[in-house]
Amino acid sequence: MGLATLWIVTAIAVQGALLSRLTFLGPHPDLVLVVVLSIALYDGPLAGAVSGFAAGLAVDLLSDHVLGISALVLCIAGWATGTVRDYYDRLSATTPIVIVAVASAGATLFLGALLKLLGDPRIIWSGLAADVPRVALYDAVLAPFVFAAVSGLNRRVDPGVREW
Amino acid sequence: MFRDSRRVRQLLGLMILTSITLITIDYRAGANSPFRGLRRSAGTLFGPIERGVSSALRPVGNALSTLSNVGSVDKEVKKLRAERSAVQGQQRTNDDKDRQYQEAQKLLKFVDLGQYRTIPAHVVAAAPSNFSWTVTVDAGSNRGVRTDLTVLNSDGLVGKVIEVSKFTSTVLLAIDVKSSVAARLAYTGEQGLVSGNGPKQLTFKVTPATAEVRTGQPVLTVGSTFQPGVPIGKVVSSRAAPGAPFRTVSLEPYVNFSNLDLVAIVVQKERKTDPDVLVPANPKPSSSPQIPPCPASVAPGAPSTASSGATSSGALSSPPASPAAPAGPAPSMVPCLSSMTAPTATPSTVPSPAPSP
């Protein structure tokens, strides 16, 4: 639990201070999402859902859009990823990348669609369709590093069973 | 492998329900949302963290931003090579300090010329969401920032403050789709509204549709919510749909929104100045002096060109990383706003510098 909090706070700080400012990428990589998905991949659906909800709430509070949207999306994304993870006995090196890419695409599309439905003038369907694959790609690039870091540190701190 | 899935599902349901409740309440309440205080506390909590991370990662961000600008890479390489031959070691640190210092100096001149009283701030973070164009700056209510204040940098309009917490505030950038700025054409004065399109060019709807618009003509704010006279962008193209009461003009913003760093939050305008003082003068053949070339590089430690007539710029001070601006007469008060080229013409002319108080 403490480790998850640490990861989320770090992710939000790095996201805001560095990644979100790299506008030349077009849409920016979503480090907070990748961290939530990595926690879900390491710890399963419950950890995924809870950390997704908490991280989403923090992101919502720091953004100017309606409160609760990211919390909803990240919570579901974390839970779904954790659930999928439980079908595997062992994760190969590439599995996290594929799962993160798919989950990122789904979560970004879901988030954009929710914002659009709530009348956010910044979302245009065509723009969203162009952004989704790019966010998925960026997140997939981050995935192996973030997952290795999350699972590595968690294993070191708690070498026994998984946290939840 | 499947653990206690009933408990998981119960918790998941609870969290989804909570989210939907939050969304409903926040959406319905709009501007009077009961969560405003909560947002402010989150800003207060995360502000210092983002500030620390931002200052640690600034060189990384700058390097990455430089890579993105193909045109400026060449310039940057040349500059770095020159520096390497001149100064051994410490290039990177010096480069960054030099850049910050020059940026501060340019901003000082700019706000001095416009006679604005300002609060200086650094951009420490951008919105964590992929769908909004806001940034966090490291000045909040502790330094007198309020909502709706105009934010500018040495190139022109950045945006306005929409949320203030203790140590940080949130700025809605002029390129955000939600941003709408009352503006006018320089020299001729036709008015209209400038709205953002995300990363694309700004749109300026000017009335009447018959207004004469020239490529390169600057567009400035008019005083309503925003401080008057802040340059927004220059005209790229314009068209009028037949029968439309306005002309739609594409503007290229003066500000490079991809690497915002030092900004100034305008508290008030000190006194009235020539409304067009911050843009190049109307290009008519005249005998005014030409803009001298900008000094290529001011070495840190030799800050003799600092604008010391800056007493009128109130609270604006140099950032901590830069050398302190010295007192004494400034050898050059000529504005060096290289990013603002005069429309079409040569020779471009200089607006007369604001009188020193």
Instruction: Name the minimum distance, in Å, from the CA of B289 to any CA of chain A.
Output: 38
A95/B291 Cα distance (integer angstroms) = 60
Interface of B with A in 314-353 (CB under 8 A): none
> pLDDT (tens digit, 9 = 90+) per residue, B132-183?
889 999 999 999 899 989 998 888 899 999 989 988 999 999 999 889 999 9
Helices and strands in chain A: count of H runs, count of E runs: 6, 0
Instruction: Name the minimum distance, in Å, from the CA of A15 to any CA of chain B.
Output: 6
**Paired tokens of B240:** 């009028």
DSSP string, A61-73: HHSSS-TTHHHHH
Cα A151 to its chain centre, rounded Å, is 15
Contact A64 B132 (CB under 8 A): yes
Interface of A with B in 98-157 (CB under 8 A): 108, 111-112, 115, 118, 120-123, 127, 131, 135
- A36-50, B27-41, B58-72: least confident range: B58-72
B157/B176 Cα distance (integer angstroms) = 13
Contacts of B251 (CB under 8 A, 6+ apart): B194, B201, B202, B203, B204, B219, B232, B233, B234, B235, B236
Higher local confidence (pLDDT), B51 or B298: B51
Cα B133 to its chain centre, rounded Å, is 12
Average pLDDT over all residues of chain B:
74
What does the pLDDT read at residue A81?
A: 94
Instruction: Show residues of chain B in contact with A16, CB under 8 Å.
Output: 46, 50, 53-54, 124-128, 136
Closest of B159, B101, B156, B106 to residue B135, by C-alpha: B159
Cβ–Cβ under 8 Å, residues B144 and A46? no
Q: Please check the confidence at residue B25 and state whether its pLDDT lies above 60.
A: yes
Instruction: Show residues of chain B in contact with A53, CB under 8 Å.
Output: 15, 18-19
Cβ–Cβ under 8 Å, residues B192 and B207? yes
> pLDDT (tens digit, 9 = 90+) per residue, B281-315?
776 544 444 444 444 444 444 444 334 333 344 44
φ, ψ dihedrals at B353, nearest 5° = -60, 150
Higher local confidence (pLDDT), B351 or B51: B51
**CB-closest option in A21, A49, A89 to B61:** A21
For strand B150-153 and strand B262-269, is the pairing parallel, antiparallel, or unpaired?
antiparallel
**Paired tokens of B287:** 């005998």
Instruction: Name the minimum distance, in Å, from the CA of A1 to any CA of chain B.
Output: 16
Higher local confidence (pLDDT), A145 or B80: A145
Instruction: Show residues of chain B in contact with A86, CB under 8 Å.
Output: 1-3
Place of tokens 């002096």: B289
Contact A49 B39 (CB under 8 A): no
Q: Is B172 on the interface with A (CB under 8 A)?
A: yes
Omega within 30 of 0 (cis) for the link into B326: no
Contact B125 A59 (CB under 8 A): no
Burial state string for B320-345 with b = 16 or more CB within 10 A and e = fewer than 16: ebbbebeeeebeebbbbbeebebbee
Place of tokens 């001011």: B298
pTM of the model: 0.64
Encode chain A (164 residues) as per-residue pLDDT tens digits: 678 888 999 999 888 888 887 767 778 899 999 999 999 999 889 999 999 999 999 999 988 888 999 999 999 999 999 999 888 877 788 889 999 999 999 999 999 999 999 888 888 888 889 999 999 999 999 999 999 999 888 888 876 555 44
Cβ–Cβ under 8 Å, residues B140 and B166? yes
A120/A75 Cα distance (integer angstroms) = 21
Q: Please check the confidence at residue B67 and state whether its pLDDT lies above 90.
A: no
Q: Is B269 on the interface with A (CB under 8 A)?
A: no
Instruction: Name the minimum distance, in Å, from the CA of A68 to any CA of chain B.
Output: 5
